[in-house]
Structure 1
Amino acid sequence: MNKTTTTSPWIKIFQPSSHPKLRLFCFHSSASGASLFRLWGKHLPSNIEVCAIQLPGRETRIKETLITKWDDLLSSLTKDLQPFLTEYPFVFFGHSLGGLICFEVARKLRAKKLPTPKYMFISGRRAPHIPIDNQLHQASNQTLISTLREYGGTPEAVLENQDLMELFLPILRADFTLNEKYIYSLEAPFEFPIVAFRGINDTAVNLQQLSEWEKHTVGNFALHEFPGGHMFFLQQPETLIEAILKFM
Structure 2
Amino acid sequence: MTNGFGQCHIARMGVNRTVAGPRVGETPVEGLLTGADLAAGQDRPHSTRAPYGPWRRWGSPPKRAATSATVGQTHVGKCDALVHAVARSRERVEAGVTAFVKAPAGRWLWRYHRGSDHPVCRLLLLPHAGGSASYFYRFSQLLAGDIDVLTVQYPGRMERYAEPLVCDIEELARQLSTALLEHELTDLPLALFGHSMGCLVGYEAASFLAEKGHPARWLFASSCRAPGTVHGKAAVRTTDDAIVADLRRLGGTDVSVLDDPGMRELFLPVLRSDSRAVELYGERPRAPLNVPVTAIHGVDDPWVDRRAAQAWSAVTSGPFELRDFLGGHFYFSQAEHQATVADLVRSRLLGMPSPS
TM-score by length of 1: 0.91
Partner deviation per Cα, 1:131-182 (whole Å, 9 max, x = no partner): 3489995343222112112212222232222211111111111001111111
1:119-198 matched pairs, under 5 angstroms: 119-132=218-231, 137-198=236-297
TM-score by length of 2: 0.64
Structure 1 Cα separation of the partners of residues 289 and 232 of structure 2: 26
Structure 2 Cα separation of the partners of residues 61 and 27 of structure 1: 16
Structure 1 Cα separation of the partners of residues 324 and 330 of structure 2: 12
Gaps of 5+ in 2: 1-101, 350-356
Tell me the SS of whatever aligns to 1:86. coil
Partner deviation per Cα, 1:197-230 (whole Å, 9 max, x = no partner): 0111001110001111111111110001101110
Partner deviation per Cα, 1:60-103 (whole Å, 9 max, x = no partner): 21121111134542332111111343322221101111000010
Of 224, 229, 232, the residue aligned with 2:323 is 224
Structure 2 Cα separation of the partners of residues 7 and 189 of structure 1: 28
Tell me the SS of whatever aligns to 2:229. coil
The 8 Å contact of residues 27 and 101 in structure 1, kept in 2 or not, is answered as yes
Structure 2 Cα separation of the partners of residues 77 and 150 of structure 1: 30
| Matched residue, 2:112 | 14
Q: Tell me the CA shift for residue 50 of structure 1.
A: 1.4
Tell me the SS of whatever aligns to 1:246. helix
Amino acid at match of 2:180: L
Q: Tell me the CA shift for residue 194 of structure 1.
A: 0.5
Are residue 242 (structure 1) and residue 340 (structure 2) matched?
Answer: no
When the two chains are superposed, the root-mean-square deviation of aligned CA atoms in Å is 2.0
Higher Rg of the two aligned structures: 2
Gaps of 5+ in 1: none
Amino acid at match of 2:341: L
Percent of aligned pairs with the same amino acid: 31
* Total equivalences in the alignment: 244
Tell me the SS of whatever aligns to 2:331. coil
Tell me the SS of whatever aligns to 2:322. strand
| Matched residue, 1:58 | 157
Are residue 78 (structure 1) and residue 177 (structure 2) matched?
Answer: yes
Structure 1 Cα separation of the partners of residues 171 and 319 of structure 2: 32
Question: Structure 2 vs 1, CA of residues 183 and 45 (structure 1 numbering), >3 Å: closer, same or farther?
Answer: closer
Amino acid at match of 2:114: P
Structure 1 Cα separation of the partners of residues 216 and 192 of structure 2: 6
